[in-house]
Amino acid sequence: MIRSRYVSIIAPLAIIFLGVLTLLAIPQTRPVVEGFLNGAFGGRNHFNLFSTLARFSILLGMAMSVLVSFRAGLLNIGGEGQLVLGGLTAALVGVYLPGPPLYVSVVALLAAMTAGASWAVLAGLLDRVAKVPLLIGSLLLNYPASYLASYFVSHPFRDVASGATQTHRIMTEARLPRFPGTILDYGILLIGATAILVIALEKTSVFGYRVRMQGYSYGFARTSGFPTGALYYRTLIISGMIAGMTGYTAVFGLNQRYIDGMLTIPLYTWTAIAAVLLAAIIPLITPVTAFFFAMLATGAIGMERSADIPREIGQIVQAVIVLYLAGVGGKMLSGGTKEDH
């Protein structure tokens, strides 16, 4: 059992490694690999590496949001709505709130976190009060959130002069500063600190212990006397807050404004879910898998440039990884077997 699990991890890695070697060995296919590596890490002054890191930052944020929920056994797959509303709120506060830059920035962060958390709690209320399963409720809430954001930036709050469906820019002083000479902003520090906090507290705090055990078995948590209701909502609030914060960093950092579809089209949330699953919902491994998927996406862009392979190959590979994982990982989310109940 344990041996077969190692095999199922090592075998595909070996195949990929051999595949890459083969590609490198054949002169015609060499540019594919070079393009991938260049896309993920290369460029002038390693510009692309910083693009990868910028994407990693957002993915890590969403992965932490997903991780907190999944670790508690809560199938909150509504991260997208929470992210979008966080980003939208941050943009509106950033553009329209008068005041000193630092004040605007902090208020925007708090507002974004509140927005994300509220959307998550709404899904929770649907689940606990109206008995709509969290998986479905949280997912359905993605759509009103995206459509609302889309409406706001294409009508009332649109930067009409720019010609695109987007808000005005955040004022320069309020933005998250960038590392000199790169497009990577200080948002990654915020997200990184959050990730460290999440990973550390999961292992060392009573709250983390209870959340983990509740995720393993809800019935166990209840009979052990854990405050299951409070744990449920607190977990969702934290999860939504992290998603909202991630939206804030994207708006105040990477994109400097809210652009229609900027948080949904790259499939950040679904990729983050894939990363958490690839890490088998183990906190310490999640940043690694999140980085892997960030690299996969930017590498695919590099391949598109060098070998004219459409960049969507990255998403296909990602999907195949998720499917493979499902095949070897068993019932990671549903828990238990469905037979013999």
Contacts to another protein from residues 155-174, by CB under 8 A? 155
- Binding test (CB under 8 A) with another protein, winner from 21, 227, 230, 288: 227
Interaction of residue 224 with another protein, rule CB under 8 A? yes
CB 227 within 8 A of CB 97: no
> In Å, how far from its chain's centre is CA 89?
18
- Binding test (CB under 8 A) with another protein, winner from 22, 45, 154, 162: 154
Interaction of residue 141 with another protein, rule CB under 8 A? yes
Interaction of residue 32 with another protein, rule CB under 8 A? no
- Please state the φ and ψ torsions of residue 77, each to the nearest 5 degrees: -110, 25
Distance CA 245, CA 150 (A): 19
Interaction of residue 213 with another protein, rule CB under 8 A? yes
- Binding test (CB under 8 A) with another protein, winner from 56, 119, 252, 270: 270
DSSP β-bridge partners for residue 166: 259
N residues, the chain: 341
Instruction: State in angstroms the smallest separation of the CB of 155 from another protein.
Output: 6
- Rank residues 180 and 327 by Cβ distance to another protein and give the closer one: 327
- Rank residues 64 and 267 by Cβ distance to another protein and give the closer one: 267
Instruction: State in angstroms the smallest separation of the CB of 123 from another protein.
Output: 10
Using the rule CB under 8 A, give the single segment among 54-62, 100-108, 145-153, 172-180 that binds another protein. 145-153
- Rank residues 13 and 129 by Cβ distance to another protein and give the closer one: 129
Interaction of residue 5 with another protein, rule CB under 8 A? no
- How many residues bind another protein, per CB under 8 A? 73
Instruction: State in angstroms the smallest separation of the CB of 249 from another protein.
Output: 23
DSSP β-bridge partners for residue 185: 178
Identify residue 313 by its one-letter amino acid code: I
CB 166 within 8 A of CB 259: yes
- Binding test (CB under 8 A) with another protein, winner from 6, 131, 161, 180: 131
- Rank residues 78 and 94 by Cβ distance to another protein and give the closer one: 78
Show contacts of 152-157: CB within 8 Å, 24+ apart.
152/88, 152/92, 153/88, 153/91, 153/258, 153/259, 153/260, 154/260, 157/91, 157/92, 157/95, 157/96
- Rank residues 17 and 147 by Cβ distance to another protein and give the closer one: 147
Interaction of residue 28 with another protein, rule CB under 8 A? no
Interaction of residue 292 with another protein, rule CB under 8 A? no
Which of these, 147, 149, 108, 114, lies nearest to 251 by C-alpha position? 108
Q: How far is CA 148 from CA 12, 96, 156, 205, 252, in A?
A: 42, 18, 11, 38, 20
Interaction of residue 253 with another protein, rule CB under 8 A? no
Distance CA 198, CA 168 (A): 33
- Binding test (CB under 8 A) with another protein, winner from 63, 85, 134, 277: 277
DSSP-derived 3-state class of residue 178:
strand
Q: Which of residues 59-78 bind another protein (CB under 8 A)?
A: 75, 77
